[in-house]
Structure 1
Amino acid sequence: MTGVPLKHQRISRILAREIRAGHYPADGRLPGEHALAQRFCVSRTTIRAALAELTEEGLITTRTGKGSYIRFDGRPPDDRLGWARPRVAHGAGTTVRTLAVREARDGALAAELGLEKDVFVCVEQTRELVADGTVVAYERSLLPPVPGIRELPAHGLGQDSLTELLRSAGLRPDHGDQRVSGHPVDAHEAELLRRAPGDWFLQTHRTTRAADDSFVEHTVALLDPAHFELTLTFG
């Protein structure tokens, strides 16, 4: 039936939500194929297909003969998307809280990206430590209002992650750029982050594009430097 996810897709979505919610320790091992097959009452072939989707999404890595291990660090990693990427230090598990999903206009960004229209779908989220609820990041993402995305202000994100929704809408990041700087949070940002105005955070501006260079996402993030580190790749 059109639109109904296959068994392995349903399983991969469940496991993805559990990984993002911190149910498994970062860099820890997932249950084995046999255990997962028993849990979901499916064949090991179906489980392998589900794990392949998680690997493609960047949430796990598979070590031959040893099993599948968590790679999630607050955002699915993809080294193609910038020379610097944030990583949650010490492998702390995080959960995502959606603050708002709405239509937004940004003429300056549209002009910078060479877009004809300045209308976007804006998603605002915070990331909190599972252990104690500390807010470690605030993210404001602007998305193109294509089918599957433009309906979000009316219907919300549901149980899907933003990454899953982008993929479902045919928006697959391939390349982009990212700027990083220090930023003292203002009063509004401090309220969202539950910090004091003037506290310093890492601020990232990240724009991603598809393989055909079409716009996928622009995200401004504030990251707590006590919990995030920047990895620089070169050469």
Structure 2
Amino acid sequence: MSGVPLKHQRITEVLAKEIRSGRRPAGERLPGEHALAQRFGVSRTTVRAALAELCEAGLIATRTGKGSYVLFDGRPLEDSLGWARALATRSTDARVRTLAVREVREARLAEQLALADGEFVCVERTRELVADGTVVTYERSFLPPVPGIRELPGRGFAGESLTDVMLRAGLRPDHGEQRLAGRRIDAREAELLRRTPGDWFLDTRRTSRAADGSFVEHVVSLLDPDHFQLTLEFG
């Protein structure tokens, strides 16, 4: 029914009230995802969505655990819910430009992802810093053509972020893998990134899947190495 908050929004409201009222003092560590999931009777994916909203509102700060992850200007990015929110939580004023939204058929990608169907909706975007106009990412997101996504080429985003559209369509990332390499950009990429052909960029390939293992998103990104780095914690 319209007007009824989503599960993660209800959790966000409860925790935000506890934080603002002083019931949870500043700096106090929140219970872990498992404990919060048990408290509210929801999945850990729902808890993560609520924590992302609290982080975006500036009410909590998240710390990345051990493993490999991407940094922006030396600070960890939790990008499971999208680059836009990840950069927003780091007080980075960035602007997204959507270059194209179209239906594509990628048999080779489908084979790599072990998908029976090679049809995707591809969203092509760049992201630039508002302060100086530097383009820091060029991204191609490949999404399954499920209801809520298959209409994007004709409808557009209508002011919504890609993250919000995905969540509304039931595409909630739970786990996946990300690969990173470095390469020189070609002429078309250089034009989009406002750089010189042959400049060096980080090339990442990230595949996200839902808790049940179903495909959620495959993102191919070129990241400006002057701003993005990869770090690894161990021990």
Relative to the length of structure 2, the TM-score reads: 0.69
Deviation of residue 97 (structure 1)?
A: 1.2
Deviation of residue 85 (structure 1)?
A: 3.1
State the secondary structure of the residue aligned to 2:96.
Answer: strand
Output the amino acid matched with 1:187.
A
Q: Is structure 2 residue 94 aligned with structure 1 residue 99?
A: no
What residue is the counterpart of 2:150 in the other structure? 150
Residues 84 and 178 of structure 1 are in contact (CA less than 8 Å); yes or no, is this contact kept in structure 2?
no
Deviations 1:164-189 (A, max 9, x none): 11111111111111110011000010
Output the amino acid matched with 1:197.
P
Deviation of residue 70 (structure 1)?
A: 6.6
Deviation of residue 146 (structure 1)?
A: 0.5
Q: CA 1:166–1:78 in 2, change beyond 3 Å: closer, same or farther?
A: farther
For the residues of structure 1 that align with 2:48 and 2:179, how far apart are their CA atoms?
29
For the residues of structure 1 that align with 2:187 and 2:109, how far apart are their CA atoms?
24
What residue is the counterpart of 1:60 in the other structure? 55
Q: CA 1:84–1:141 in 2, change beyond 3 Å: closer, same or farther?
A: farther
Deviations 1:187-235 (A, max 9, x none): 0100110000000001100101111100000000000010112232445
For the residues of structure 2 that align with 1:79 and 1:147, how far apart are their CA atoms?
34
What residue is the counterpart of 2:201 in the other structure? 201
What residue is the counterpart of 1:84 in the other structure? 68
Output the amino acid matched with 1:114.
A
State the secondary structure of the residue aligned to 2:166.
Answer: helix
Matches within 5 A, 1:1-235: 2-4=1-3, 6=5, 55-57=50-52, 60=55, 68=59, 83-89=67-73, 92-234=92-234
Residues 104 and 121 of structure 1 are in contact (CA less than 8 Å); yes or no, is this contact kept in structure 2?
yes
Q: CA 1:230–1:170 in 2, change beyond 3 Å: closer, same or farther?
A: same
Residues 110 and 117 of structure 1 are in contact (CA less than 8 Å); yes or no, is this contact kept in structure 2?
yes
Output the amino acid matched with 2:136.
V
State the secondary structure of the residue aligned to 2:131.
Answer: coil
How many pairs were matched up? Answer: 185
For the residues of structure 1 that align with 2:70 and 2:188, how far apart are their CA atoms?
23
Deviations 1:67-102 (A, max 9, x none): 71577xxxxx9869xx53333216543121111111
For the residues of structure 2 that align with 1:79 and 1:169, how far apart are their CA atoms?
29
For the residues of structure 2 that align with 1:201 and 1:59, how far apart are their CA atoms?
32
User: What is the CA RMSD across the aligned residues, in angstroms?
Assistant: 3.0
% same residue: 55
For the residues of structure 2 that align with 1:159 and 1:146, how far apart are their CA atoms?
20
For the residues of structure 2 that align with 1:216 and 1:183, how far apart are their CA atoms?
26
